[in-house]
């Protein structure tokens, strides 16, 4: 039944001749689909599927990939189609074959290009989207500090409190972080950029030409330092990556200290998604932030 549905979804490209499950995702099912086109060629597609209620998530991902591609700084997987069949929704994308080499120098250069070419003064996004499976609040704020206080750390704290994942002492310390945000984020540039928003080692790859490719975004406009929250937490990028980024567009002094706020945002999100195994890391990061203030 599942393969029959996928065959129907990819029919605009031709006749499906192969469909193989792809691992690595923890939210949606995925498949590598091969199609014989009417012109006699082969088309390789990547098809994600989930329950029909996941439609908004796929539309946010589709739009995020399109916006990132429009900047024309770093390759993205091209989204092609979203279709619902029965109680299942499918998103069809370009298949990208992963190469054997990783050009982190080029990755750093191109990420800096993405941030520089999209720079301006926008904050947030005109719609709410998702960070993994969590809702991500992007509503407008007067300034970046207020946006991070309310829409990032504040929102995640309230979610954790509602789920009894944060004790009173930790809440007190996170409230202190929120109150101290103007001092903690002092020294950043008063510039914002289009951010991927969830950039870690599972959301980038290198194609067969060693070109970096970014996938699964949680886009918004914000301080470019926020892009490095997940990269510093789970990015697995060597020093060459950061050196190449700075060669293209140098980050302001103390950017790594300020980035602890964005690491905390992602740790709190992991706490809300995956439970108490992240409590210790959240508390440690809060202590580090307060000790730096």
Q: Which of 47, 65, 94 is the last residue of a domain?
A: 94
pLDDT value of residue 265: 98
Q: Distance between CA 259 and CA 226 in Å, rounded?
A: 6
- 103 part of the active site: no
Q: Which residues of the chain fall below pLDDT 70? A: 1, 24-26
Tell me: do 194 and 117 sit in the same domain: yes
The position carrying tokens 């929250």 is 229
Tell me: do 119 and 88 sit in the same domain: no
Contacts of 286-292 with C-beta under 8 Å, sequence gap 24+, read 286/170, 286/173, 286/174, 286/177, 287/173, 288/260, 289/177, 289/184, 289/260, 289/261, 289/264, 290/173, 290/176, 290/177, 290/180, 292/184, 292/257, 292/260
Which is the catalytic residue, given 87, 198, 207, 247?
Answer: 198
Residue 101: which of 242, 207, 29 has the closest Cα?
207
Tell me: do 165 and 286 sit in the same domain: yes
pLDDT value of residue 24: 64
Q: Which of 47, 72, 94 is the last residue of a domain?
A: 94
Q: Distance between CA 151 and CA 145 in Å, rounded?
A: 10
Tell me: do 122 and 188 sit in the same domain: yes
Q: Distance between CA 152 and CA 160 in Å, rounded?
A: 12
> What is the number of structural domains in the chain?
2
pLDDT value of residue 25: 65
**CB-based contacts of 130, cutoff 8 Å, min separation 6:** 56, 57, 60, 136, 218
| Boundaries of domain holding 280 | 104-292
Tell me: do 113 and 249 sit in the same domain: yes
Rg (CA), the chain: 20
Angle between helices 168-179 and 279-292 in degrees, nearest 10: 40
pLDDT value of residue 234: 95
Domain annotation covers residue 99: no
In this prediction the pTM is 0.96
């Amino acid at each position: 039944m599942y393969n029959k549905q996928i065959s129907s979804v990819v029919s605009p490209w031709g006749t499906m001749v192969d469909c193989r499950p792809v691992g690595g995702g923890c939210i949606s099912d995925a498949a590598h689909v091969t199609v014989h086109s009417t012109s006699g060629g082969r088309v390789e597609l990547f098809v994600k599927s989930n329950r029909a209620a996941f439609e908004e998530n796929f539309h946010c991902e589709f739009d995020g990939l399109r916006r990132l591609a429009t900047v024309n700084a770093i390759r993205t997987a091209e989204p092609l189609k979203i279709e619902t069949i029965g109680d299942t929704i499918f998103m069809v994308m370009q298949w990208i074959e992963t190469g054997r080499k990783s050009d982190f120098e080029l990755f750093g250069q191109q990420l800096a290009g993405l941030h520089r070419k999209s720079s301006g003064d926008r904050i947030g996004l005109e719609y709410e989207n998702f960070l993994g499976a969590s809702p991500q609040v992007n509503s407008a704020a007067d300034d970046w500090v207020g946006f991070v206080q309310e829409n990032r750390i504040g929102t995640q704290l309230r979610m954790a409190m509602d789920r009894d994942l944060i004790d009173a002492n930790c809440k007190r310390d996170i409230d202190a972080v929120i109150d101290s945000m103007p001092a903690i984020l002092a020294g950043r540039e008063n510039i914002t950029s289009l951010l991927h928003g969830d950039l870690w080692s599972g959301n980038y790859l290198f194609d067969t030409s060693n070109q970096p490719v970014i996938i699964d975004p949680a886009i918004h406009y914000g301080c470019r330092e926020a892009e490095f929250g997940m990269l510093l937490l789970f990015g697995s990028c060597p020093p060459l990556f950061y050196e190449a980024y700075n060669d293209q567009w140098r980050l302001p002094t103390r950017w790594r200290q300020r980035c602890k706020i964005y690491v905390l945002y992602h740790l709190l999100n992991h706490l809300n998604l995956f439970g108490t195994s992240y409590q210790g890391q959240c508390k440690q990061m809060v202590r580090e932030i307060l000790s730096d203030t």
